[in-house]
Amino acid sequence: MSPHFWNPSPFPFSRGNKREEQYVRKIIFMKSNVEPFPYYRRLSFCPTKNLKYLKKLNAFVGLFPKSYTNEYLYHPDIYQIEEDIEVKIHIPVMGKILPKPQVIPWGIKRVGADKVWSNAQGKGVRVAVIDTGISFDHPDLEKNIRGGVNILSPILPPYDHNGHGTHIAGTIGAVNNTIGVVGVAPQVSLHAVKAFNKDGTAKLSDIIKGIDWCIDHNMDIINMSFGFNEPSPTFREAIKRAQEAGIIMVAASGNKGTRGRLEYPAQFGETIAVSSINEENKISKFSTIGGAVDLAAPGEKIISTWMNNSYRELSGTSMAVAHVTGVSALMLSKFPNLSTRDLITFMKQTAIPLEDASFYSQGFGVVNASVLRNSYR
């Protein structure tokens, strides 16, 4: 049956019913090559709340009556329907507050970023940080902030009231000035995509909305310093469609210190999965490892920007992800015409293997920016 002639009102009760109803958030992905209007018209007969269409993902997110099972919402043009889940950022134990005279953190030196700033600093590369927001008035960040979105409250700026997103942003692209720290790519364009609240918690649907925003605004790289254990077909579809749009996605392996399955989205083959190392070139004890790991990067005792114009030392695979994101920006600024696939392959081929670590824990090795010293366009 043609979707244009699909029964428009198959739902168990109408808008006029006074029955008290509980609501649940659902994520509905249309097939990528179909028009959304016929299904949107069908949804107009359903008492939804906060229904939003994500045009780049061809998906709907909204609150639906709990009694409306997926069978009620099914349509031939639907690819996947899924209930929302909660995602929480791992907030590591915070280290000392640091003084303001500028230092180059050990992780920046370990990936060789400081050796290539005369050739590449990430200028013109658009990096989205899907996180708790960014403290965009921080003196070490404000020159590199180029915009963003507050998924939770679209009328408000994506300001960080947690600290995690600001810390990640500093490692990626803190400005090379006379104070605080300097990031891997000190001239990168940072975009704050605030999907996590001040407690470090997000709805998966809000993360998916953030990915849709990134595609729509032509981001080059997405930093995903978060993870969760539940497989999600709709999230996988969002990741696949972002990859098709040419976006590099970098994700954390996890902080459970286990061997086996990585957290999502690092488990997905479309992302660069990152584990953590310490200053002794050892895989961090907290780092989740497994066959899906692609690269390793510094993740212990990482100094970076924090709220209230300050600086903090944190540890976690979140911090390792930020180093790989920064190196990706350096390489993309050096080779802007390189395809996403070729750039990722180049990063893996030029990584430096750890002598006493298996492929299972480090992938191809520690991400290495210093190769750009001898690279020419």
Same domain, residue pair 48 and 162: no
Report the pLDDT value the prediction gives residue 117, as an integer from 0 to 100.
Answer: 96
pLDDT tens column, 310-333: 999 999 999 999 999 999 999 999
Which listed residue (84, 90, 114, 131) is catalytic? Answer: 131
**Average pLDDT of 165-178?**
96
Same domain, residue pair 173 and 47: no
Report the pLDDT value the prediction gives residue 231, as an integer from 0 to 100.
Answer: 85
Which listed residue (189, 276, 318, 333) is catalytic? Answer: 318
Concerning whether 164 is annotated as a catalytic residue, the answer is yes
Concerning whether 276 is annotated as a catalytic residue, the answer is no
Q: With bands split at pLDDT 50, 70 and 90, how would you rate the model's confidence at 8?
A: very low
Q: How many domains does the chain have?
A: 2
Q: What is the end-to-end Cα distance of the chain in Å, rounded?
A: 54
**Average pLDDT of 266-290?**
96
Report the pLDDT value the prediction gives residue 96, as an integer from 0 to 100.
Answer: 58
Same domain, residue pair 80 and 94: no
Report the pLDDT value the prediction gives residue 1, as an integer from 0 to 100.
Answer: 33
**pLDDT surpassing 90 at residue 373:** no
Report the pLDDT value the prediction gives residue 92, as an integer from 0 to 100.
Answer: 57
pLDDT tens column, 203-236: 999 999 999 999 999 999 999 999 999 889 999 9
Q: With bands split at pLDDT 50, 70 and 90, how would you rate the model's confidence at 2?
A: very low
**Average pLDDT of 135-162?**
96
Same domain, residue pair 332 and 261: yes
Distance separating alpha carbons of residues 157 and 193, to the nearest angstrom: 10
**Average pLDDT of 60-77?**
85
Report the pLDDT value the prediction gives residue 275, as an integer from 0 to 100.
Answer: 97
Report the pLDDT value the prediction gives residue 325, as an integer from 0 to 100.
Answer: 98
Which listed residue (84, 114, 138, 164) is catalytic? Answer: 164
Q: Which residue segment(s) compose the domain that 60 sits in?
A: 3-84
Same domain, residue pair 355 and 248: yes
**Average pLDDT of 162-189?**
96
The last residue of a domain, from among 59, 84, 109:
84
**pLDDT surpassing 50 at residue 287:** yes
Q: What percent of the chain has pLDDT over 70?
A: 91
Same domain, residue pair 33 and 65: yes
* Phi then psi dihedrals of residue 16, to 5 deg: -80, -10
Same domain, residue pair 25 and 148: no
The last residue of a domain, from among 60, 84, 108:
84
pLDDT tens column, 85-118: 999 887 655 665 665 688 999 999 999 999 999 9
Same domain, residue pair 260 and 125: yes
Q: At what angle do helices 233-244 and 204-216 cross, to 10 degrees?
A: 10
pTM: 0.91
Mean pLDDT of the chain: 90
Concerning whether 206 is annotated as a catalytic residue, the answer is no
Same domain, residue pair 78 and 138: no
Q: With bands split at pLDDT 50, 70 and 90, how would you rate the model's confidence at 157?
A: very high
Q: With bands split at pLDDT 50, 70 and 90, how would you rate the model's confidence at 375?
A: low
CATH code of 73's domain:
3.30.70
Q: With bands split at pLDDT 50, 70 and 90, how would you rate the model's confidence at 305?
A: very high
Same domain, residue pair 63 and 189: no
Same domain, residue pair 176 and 316: yes
The last residue of a domain, from among 49, 84, 119:
84
Same domain, residue pair 78 and 93: no
Q: With bands split at pLDDT 50, 70 and 90, how would you rate the model's confidence at 40?
A: confident
Distance separating alpha carbons of residues 338 and 370, to the nearest angstrom: 18
**pLDDT surpassing 50 at residue 132:** yes
Q: At what angle do helices 164-173 and 317-334 cross, to 10 degrees?
A: 40
Closest CA to 204 of 79, 80, 82: 82
Highest mean pLDDT among 10-14, 30-34, 256-260: 30-34
CATH code of 173's domain:
3.40.50.200
